[in-house]
């Protein structure tokens, strides 16, 4: 099984070196080959399980409560400006 590591890494926003791409391609291909084992299983008419204990529609009252202060929210970033997060531009001016 072939995996386009460069494409997948781009989707996942993971910067990889050329050497890493080569190494991962081999390793990921062997893992994908192994998990392809599931193709043997007949799953026709079987519902997927996502919530294993069967909880459904868990809701709570929509009430406001104290949360982080601005300082707390910014306490782990080095990328800030005037009390806000500073992010890279995504649109060119």
Partner 1 sequence: MNLNQLTISEAKEGLKEKKFSSVELTKACLLQIEKHNKELNAFLTICKDKALAAAKKADEKLKNGDTSPLLGIPFSMKDVYSTKNVRTTAGSKVLDNYIPPYNATVYQKLVNAGAILLGKTNCDAWGHGGSTENSDFGVTKNPWNKDYVAGGSSGGSTAALASDMTIFEIGEDTGGSIRLPASFCSTVGLKVTYGRVSRYGAIAYASSLDTMGPITKSVEDAAYLLEIIAGGDEKDATSSPRNVPLYTKHLTNNIRGLRIGLPKEFFGKGLDIEVKQTIDEAIKTLTSQGAEIVDASIPSVEYGIATYYIIAPSETSSNLARYDGIRYGNKRSSFGDEAKRRIMIGTYALSAGYYDAYYKKAMQVRTMIKNDFTKAFEKCDVILSPVSPTPPFKIGEKTDDPLQMYLVDIYTVLINLAGVPSLALPCGFSKNNLPIGMQLIGPQFSEDKILNAGYQFEQATKWHKQKPNL
Binding residues for partner 1, rule: CB under 8 A, are: 3, 5, 8-9, 11-16, 20, 24, 27-28, 30-32, 34-39, 41, 43, 46-53, 55, 58, 60, 68, 72-73, 75-77, 79, 85-87
Residue 10: its H or E element: helix 5-11
Is 22 or 77 the residue whose CB approaches partner 1 more closely?
77
Q: Are strands 80-81 and 84-85 parallel, antiparallel or unpaired?
A: antiparallel
Is 11 or 93 the residue whose CB approaches partner 1 more closely?
11
Rounded Cα distance between 47 and 64, Å, is 37
């Amino acid at each position: 099984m072939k995996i386009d590591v460069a494409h997948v890494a781009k989707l996942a926003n993971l910067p990889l070196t050329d050497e890493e791409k080569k190494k991962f391609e081999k390793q990921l291909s062997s893992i994908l080959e192994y998990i392809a084992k599931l193709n043997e299983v007949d799953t026709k008419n079987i519902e997927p399980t996502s919530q294993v204990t069967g909880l459904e529609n868990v809701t709570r009252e929509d009430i406001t409560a104290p949360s982080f202060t601005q300082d707390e929210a910014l306490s782990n970033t080095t990328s800030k400006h005037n009390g806000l997060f500073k992010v890279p531009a995504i649109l060119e001016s």
